[in-house]
C-alpha cells in the first residue's frame, strides 16, 4: 500500500516536471522572469491565430496576442491549476480579444452574402475541397460572436466543451446550446456542403468528436 502511494506520488512529480509550461511557471514565480520567454515561444503562434479569428487583421492580432501575454504575466500567480495552463492562458486571451472586439468591432460580412461554391464535374477534387473549406471558414467568421466564439474554440482550436466553457466563462450547457445553434445556422445556409460532410462541424467524424466531448 505504501509503495503504491509512493509510486503514484513519484509519477505525479515526474509528470509535473515533464510539463514545460508548469516548469516555466514555477521558475517565473520563483523570480526567474526570463523563463516566461519559453511560454511566449510555445504559445505565440496559437494566440496570434486565435486573435486573428476574432479581429481578422494580422497586425492587430499580433498586438492582441502580446496584450494577452502581458495579462497572463501579471496574473500568473492566480492560475489555480484546476485546469491545464493552456486552458487558463486561452481564457485570459479570450477575455482580451473579446474586450477589444467590443471597443473596435470587426466588419462582418453577412452570412447570407457568402456564396456556396459551384461544383462542376470537371473541377479537381482537391480544389473543390479547398473551395468548400474556405467558404465554411468565411461563414464561421460571419456568425454572430456569441455563436462564432464557441465554434472557433471547439473546432478550430480543438478544445472540448468543458475547456471552451471555461475559456468563455460560461456554463457547459450554454456552450453546447450555442454550438448547436451555430451548426444549425451553417446547415441552413449551406445545405449542399452539409450533405457532403464538408462543412466544419457537420462531418460524421466531427459530430462524433463533439458527442464524446459533450457527454
pLDDT at 100: 85
Question: Which helix (H) or strand (E) element contains residue 144?
Answer: none
pLDDT at position 25 over 90: yes
Residues 6+ apart with CB under 8 A from 165: 171, 172, 174, 175
Buried b (16+ CB within 10 A) or exposed e, 61-94: beebbbbbbeebeeebeebeeeeebbbbbbbbbb
- For residue 140, the model assigns a pLDDT of 82
C-alpha cell at 102: 467590443
Q: What is the pTM of this model?
A: 0.61
Whole-number pLDDT of residue 76:
93
- Please, what are the domains in the chain? 13-103 (1.10.1740.10), 111-214 (1.10.10.10)
Query: What mean pLDDT, rounded, does the chain reach?
Result: 76
Question: What are the pLDDT digits (tens) for 179-211?
Answer: 999 988 888 877 765 544 344 444 433 433 433
Cα(65)–Cα(100) distance, rounded to whole angstroms?
11
> Distance between CA 156 and CA 143 in Å, rounded?
14
Give mean pLDDT, residues 162-181: 92
Q: What percent of the chain has pLDDT over 90?
A: 35
* Rounded alpha-carbon distances, angstroms, from residue 128 to 138, 144, 182, 205: 15, 27, 23, 20
pLDDT value for 28:
95
pLDDT in tens, 98-137: 888 777 665 555 555 544 445 544 455 665 566 666 667 7
**CA torsion through residues 169, 173, 176, 177, sign:** negative
The mean per-residue pLDDT over the stretch 17-36 comes to 91
SS3 182: helix
Residues ≥6 apart with Cβ < 8 Å to 189:
111, 112, 114, 116, 139
Percent of the chain exceeding pLDDT 70 equals: 66
Amino acid at each position: 500500500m505504501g509503495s503504491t502511494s509512493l509510486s503514484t506520488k513519484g509519477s505525479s512529480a515526474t509528470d509535473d516536471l515533464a510539463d514545460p509550461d508548469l516548469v516555466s511557471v514555477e521558475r517565473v514565480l520563483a523570480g526567474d522572469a526570463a523563463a516566461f520567454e519559453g511560454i511566449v515561444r510555445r504559445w505565440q503562434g496559437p494566440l496570434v491565430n486565435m486573435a486573428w479569428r476574432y479581429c481578422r487583421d494580422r497586425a492587430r492580432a499580433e498586438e492582441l496576442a502580446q496584450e494577452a501575454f502581458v495579462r497572463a504575466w501579471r496574473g500568473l500567480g492566480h492560475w489555480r491549476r484546476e485546469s491545464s495552463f493552456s486552458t487558463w492562458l486561452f481564457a485570459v486571451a479570450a477575455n482580451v480579444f473579446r474586450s477589444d472586439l467590443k471597443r473596435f468591432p470587426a466588419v462582418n460580412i453577412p452570412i447570407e452574402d457568402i456564396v456556396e461554391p459551384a461544383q462542376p464535374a470537371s473541377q479537381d477534387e482537391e480544389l473543390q475541397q479547398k473551395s468548400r473549406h474556405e467558404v465554411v471558414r468565411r461563414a464561421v467568421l460571419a456568425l454572430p460572436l456569441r455563436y462564432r466564439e464557441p465554434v472557433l474554440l471547439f473546432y478550430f482550436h480543438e478544445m472540448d466543451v468543458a475547456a471552451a466553457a471555461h475559456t468563455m466563462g460560461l456554463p457547459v450547457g450554454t456552450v453546447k446550446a450555442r454550438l448547436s445553434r451555430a451548426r444549425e445556422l451553417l446547415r441552413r445556409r449551406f445545405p449542399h456542403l452539409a450533405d457532403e460532410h464538408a462543412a466544419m462541424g457537420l462531418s460524421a467524424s466531427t459530430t462524433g468528436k463533439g458527442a464524446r466531448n459533450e457527454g
